[in-house]
Structure 1
Amino acid sequence: MQQRADTAGSARVLVVDDDPTVAEVVAGYLDRAGYTVDRADDGPMALTRAAAHWPDLVVLDLMLPGMDGLEVCRRMRGHGPVPVIMLTARGDEEDRILGLEVGADDYVTKPFSPRELVLRVESVLRRSRPATGTGTLAAAGLTVDPAARRATREGVELALTLREFDLLAFFLKHPGRAYGREDLMREVWGWDFGDLSTVTVHIRRLRGKVEDDPARPRLIQTVWGVGYRFEPGEE
């Protein structure tokens, strides 16, 4: 897996969309923002381009011919972690949830502002960079190394997406305190606004990876009327 870029000028973004007008506009805005841009108009081409030059981030249309964006995301994630911003043609919650369920880090609903998309790209890339000055975090058999972007459970490495990793690290930093979904979106995603179902889906996915019984979570507990609390219990 390649190292992530530290600046816009060296970050490579793969834009995958079968609409040439959308792809051209998005690529143009990203290019002017200083990113190196690759383009693909279908799933197989996207996988080929990614294999040739592993991207730092993928802007991925959900509705692609043949192989849809969900499958492209799954296959890319099978080769290594990569931040994904999903483009959805509709505002349906089901589409957004599906994208988040396969590990998309963000989504933008068409029609969208290209300038907003560039800001989302910058935000996701900034969050994906290794943290500095933060030591290893550990509790309840979980260990998170922010500098290495590595997390383990009972010594076994966890396959976490960018947001799942950040969410777990945040919980380990702040045990025993309840946070609302708005708080988590602001502190973990860095957004002051957005669809709160994003937080709900990531909590569910994270529970599936760190809990003995995700249906009866012991570590990431629901605080009714408030949000969620990480409760490591007795060490």
Structure 2
Amino acid sequence: MKSISIHIIEGNPHLRSLLGWHLQQAKFSVRRSGSIQQAKPFLEAGQLILVILDADLSDGESLEFCYWLHCYSQSLILMLSARGAESDIVAGLKAGADDYLVKPFGMREFMARVEALSRRFREVNVPLLLDYGQLKINLAQRKVYLQGKKVEFTPQEFSLLYVLAQAQGIALSRLELLRRAWPEAIDNLRTIDTHILSLRKKLEINPKQPQLIQTVRNVGYRLNLELLQQESARSIPKPLSLHESKLS
């Protein structure tokens, strides 16, 4: 699985160069940046990559940037930091980091962490397009189409819809939806209800009687994939009978 692209965002030029050299020796494709501003244009494309992120960058809030990556891309994130207190590690993981490595660290441990995260790309195998017939979600471009028409969503609405779609029709609690969509808002469960209402206004024929995004009593919410499949089947033209084909 050496075809994975890795983007190193590290403020220390010597460490940045050292990490890049070891990753290239392991046959990874590597890009290096010394700041968030330098890296962001390359990461906005939404490609599936592994990001090595320095938590102590001087040009911006690394935790906020980590959260941005977690919400608006499909990247995995390995956070590096000189801060090793439990509170710092928890903050990094809550911001969306998939792993956290405290400086200084050994290169063998670093490479082992990278290899472990790389295996997750194989295991998850996230598609770039979720196709449910009438509903299509383009993860790379963060666009949604319903019955062939583009529907505009805020970044928060898109994240929530993506989490619902990932659940494959299984009902998720408000807490689980909140944890997956916006981990920084973990204490405000009403955020889910507000954004579910917004999704229904944009996706449902009658938002007051929702059929696509269903409320499951005592559980939470689910995406009604069966409805999409039924609508998709009805939209497929039926083949002509032998009699009809002769008349045509």
Name the TM-score, length of structure 2 as normaliser.
0.51
Corresponding residue for 2:23?
A: 30
Q: Which amino acid in structure 2 is aligned with residue 154 of structure 1?
A: A
Quote how far apart the aligned CAs of 1:81 are: 2.3
In the alignment, the residues of structure 1 paired with residue 74 and residue 177 of structure 2 have an alpha-carbon distance, to the nearest angstrom, of 8
Corresponding residue for 2:42?
A: 49
Corresponding residue for 2:102?
A: 109
Give the number of aligned pairs: 148
In the alignment, the residues of structure 1 paired with residue 52 and residue 18 of structure 2 have an alpha-carbon distance, to the nearest angstrom, of 13
Quote how far apart the aligned CAs of 1:51 are: 2.6
Unaligned stretches of 5+ residues in structure 2: 126-164, 194-217, 220-248
Q: Which amino acid in structure 2 is aligned with residue 150 of structure 1?
A: Q
Corresponding residue for 1:151?
A: 167
Quote how far apart the aligned CAs of 1:49 are: 2.1
Compared with structure 1, are the counterparts of its residues 129 and 113 closer, same or farther at alpha carbon in structure 2 (3 Å cutoff)? Answer: same
Q: 2:93 aligns with which of 96, 100, 106?
A: 100
Asked whether the 8 Å contact 2:49–2:74 carries over to 1, the reply is no
Q: 1:69 aligns with which of 40, 47, 62?
A: 62
Corresponding residue for 1:59?
A: 52
1:123 aligns with 2:140: no
In the alignment, the residues of structure 1 paired with residue 10 and residue 177 of structure 2 have an alpha-carbon distance, to the nearest angstrom, of 27
Quote how far apart the aligned CAs of 1:131 are: 5.3
Quote how far apart the aligned CAs of 1:159 are: 6.9
In the alignment, the residues of structure 2 paired with residue 82 and residue 40 of structure 1 have an alpha-carbon distance, to the nearest angstrom, of 16
Quote how far apart the aligned CAs of 1:108 are: 0.7
Asked whether the 8 Å contact 1:56–1:125 carries over to 2, the reply is no
Unaligned stretches of 5+ residues in structure 1: 1-6, 133-148, 165-201, 213-217, 220-235
In the alignment, the residues of structure 1 paired with residue 100 and residue 41 of structure 2 have an alpha-carbon distance, to the nearest angstrom, of 23
Higher helix share: 2
Compared with structure 1, are the counterparts of its residues 60 and 53 closer, same or farther at alpha carbon in structure 2 (3 Å cutoff)? Answer: same
In the alignment, the residues of structure 2 paired with residue 126 and residue 92 of structure 1 have an alpha-carbon distance, to the nearest angstrom, of 28
Q: Which amino acid in structure 2 is aligned with residue 75 of structure 1?
A: W
Instruction: Give SS of 1:115's match.
Output: helix
Taking only the aligned residue pairs, the percentage that are identical comes to: 30
Asked whether the 8 Å contact 2:80–2:101 carries over to 1, the reply is yes
Name the TM-score, length of structure 1 as normaliser.
0.54
Instruction: Give SS of 2:66's match.
Output: helix
1:167-182 maps to which residues of 2 (within 5 A)?
none
Q: Which amino acid in structure 2 is aligned with residue 69 of structure 1?
A: S
Asked whether the 8 Å contact 1:47–1:76 carries over to 2, the reply is no
